[in-house]
Every structure is written in structure tokens, then in C-alpha cells.
Amino acid sequence: RVGQHDRACEVFAQIKGGVVDYGREHSERCGHARYGRCYEGLYREWDAEHPIHLVGHSLGGTTGRMLQHLLHIGHFEGHADTSADWVASLSTINAPLNGSPVAYALGLQSDGSSDVRALSCGWLLGRVVHVAGFLGVPLLRYDIGMDQWQLGWWHGGSLVRLASALVGRSPMVEGGDNAAYDCSVHAMRKWNAEMGPGHKGTYYMSFAGTSEDAGVDPRRPGRWAGAVEWAVWLCMMMLVLVRRVFLLAVTRATLRWGAGGPGKGVEVRLSDGLCPHDSQKMPSGGVRGCGAPQAGRWHVREHGQDHMGVVPFPPCFERQRAFFEELFGTLRGLPAPDSRVGG
């Protein structure tokens, strides 16, 4: 999937309306088209006087952080008045706010670069996306939404790009502008240094969980987790029915990753199966709040579920509904921050 910069630009266009603009400098550096799809806009009135609440699960949480950052720095041409105050609150659920070992388990090199090991699961998945994009075939009926890379055969030069990706280096996979790289620990350290811990006019809430809370012991990988680890990564979008096996396999990779390299010194034993527990709480440098929500502070809550525990998978619809009803009730009751009163 595309990186969080591109995702944030797409979310902006989806909400505000207009053509997705990834930015000239970013597009030239990453090697893809500057403009994407056109959207009518879900809430065209959106501005500092009509802020919104952002709720994001997993990488959706870090994408929300990136969106607020781009609003803060005035990234979007034609919208000179954007600011961080366009976001009333940001709620992250099982989000890798300080990175996750998932990227390294998929094949990302641990030396701080964006290189991916040849023939690793991530390398192979990237080539599958290239081929599917060239043929115009959705993956499992899922729109991969990577139009800016112009992978389709109807785009000029697409065959050359496909051949280059299959036998050489793919800017899309190894260029650092993708979700796998952006959720790595070294990438999130860079992004957090750029974005900062938060803004004083925004409420921040994070919801963290572990697979241990959900009845899976993250310290015991299981008898056959190692045998299926590679296959699970390759087929993770299809293996909903064996979710716990998937989580156990990833936990094994997590513990191995944490022994050295980029994970050295990072507590990874407790995780939700995909993201270390501590990484879900708040970005580095963030200030933790206590009691009632306070703008500019991160209020950390435990929801007692693994990474997939609050997304719409059976058999826990009632639990999920209760979780989001409580969250949305809290958001409706948030007062205007002092920095916005009278503003």
C-alpha cells in the first residue's frame, strides 16, 4: 500500500474535495505522478471553524498524524488557510506510533535504508502488485489505489517499469514511499522528529492492546508457527479464519527482531501480534495526560484486544459496536480547547 504521505493527501481530497495533489517536490523525489483521483468531497465545509475528529486503526492512526502535519505546514496548494486546528481530535487504535517490526519481518533491511531483501515476502508481494497493476486486475477485489505509480499497461512506459521491477529495483517497493517502510521503527523515528508530538489545540487519544489480553500468549510462538510464518505473511489478507496463528507467527518474528538491530532496546515482548504495546501508546516526545481529556496531551487507554480485535471481523460485532459507541460518545462530549475559545 502507498506510504502515509500519499495516504494523507488522498484523505484530504476525499474529505475536502478536488484532485489528489501529492506535491511537486515529493512526487519528483519518489518518482510518481503528482496528481491522483478526483473526489466530490465528503465535507467541503471543513476548515478551522469546522474541524473534524479523525479516528484511525493501525496505519490509519499514523496517517491521521501525517494529515494534521501537512495541514499544519500548508502543504495543500490552493488551500492557503490550512492549519493543525482543522483537526479537533485524533484517536489512534493499535497504531504503530513509534514503528513496528512488521516491516523487517516482511523483508525491509534493518540498516535504516528503504532496501528490501530479494525474494523476501515483501519483495514478492511488491512484484505481485506490479503485475496486478499492469494487468488492471484488483487483488482479492481490493482496489490497491496506487494510480500515481501508473502501473497499468495503458500508461506510457509501464512495460519498461514492470520489467525493471521484476528484474531489478522497484522505486515503489524499495523507494521508501510505501506503507511497509513507513511503519518501520527507523522511518517512524524520522517522521516523529518532523511532525512533533502533537498540537495544543487538538485532543489525542490512543487505544492499545496486546494479544495476551485477548487470550494469546505473545511469549509462546506455538508448535507450528515457524513452519507457516512465511506463508502467513504472503497470504495475510486471506487468512482471517486463522488470525491467531498469524499473530503467533508475527510474534515470533517480533521477538527475533527485538534481539538486535533497529529493535535493540525496544520492548517488543508485549504486542498485539503486529505492533509492540509501547509503540501504540503515543509518539516519542508526547506528553501523557491524566484524568479528563486535555488538548495537546495523549490519553492512553487499554482496550484488551489484539490487532484485529476492534475491526469488523466475526465473531465480536457486539464488542466492536460497544467500543466505537463509547469512543464516539467521548468525542461528542469534548469541549473546545482553550486555544480555540474566542478564536
Task: Read off the C-alpha cell for 251.
Answer: 510474534
Those residues of the chain that have pLDDT short of 50 are: 213-234, 236-249, 255-266, 268, 342-343
Contact 122, 106 (CB under 8 A): yes
Question: Which H or E run includes 181?
Answer: helix 179-182
Rounded to whole angstroms, what are the CA distances from 214 to 196, 210, 218? Answer: 32, 7, 10
pTM: 0.83
CB-CB neighbours of 2 under 10 Å: 25
Using DSSP's 3-state secondary structure scheme, residue 28 falls into helix
pLDDT at 67: 98
pLDDT at 235: 54
Contact 311, 57 (CB under 8 A): yes
Task: Return d(Cα 217, Cα 271) in angstroms, integer.
Answer: 10
- Amino acid code (one letter) for 127: R
Task: Read off the C-alpha cell for 176.
Answer: 521508501
Contact 254, 286 (CB under 8 A): no
Contact 59, 96 (CB under 8 A): yes
Contact 105, 69 (CB under 8 A): no
Question: Which H or E run includes 130?
Answer: helix 121-135
Using DSSP's 3-state secondary structure scheme, residue 208 falls into strand
Measuring CA to CA, which residue among 87, 84, 91 is closest to residue 62?
Answer: 91
pLDDT at 68: 98
Rounded to whole angstroms, what are the CA distances from 152 to 26, 155, 156, 322? Answer: 22, 6, 9, 42
Task: Return d(Cα 10, Cα 15) in angstroms, integer.
Answer: 9
Task: Read off the C-alpha cell for 87.
Answer: 483537526
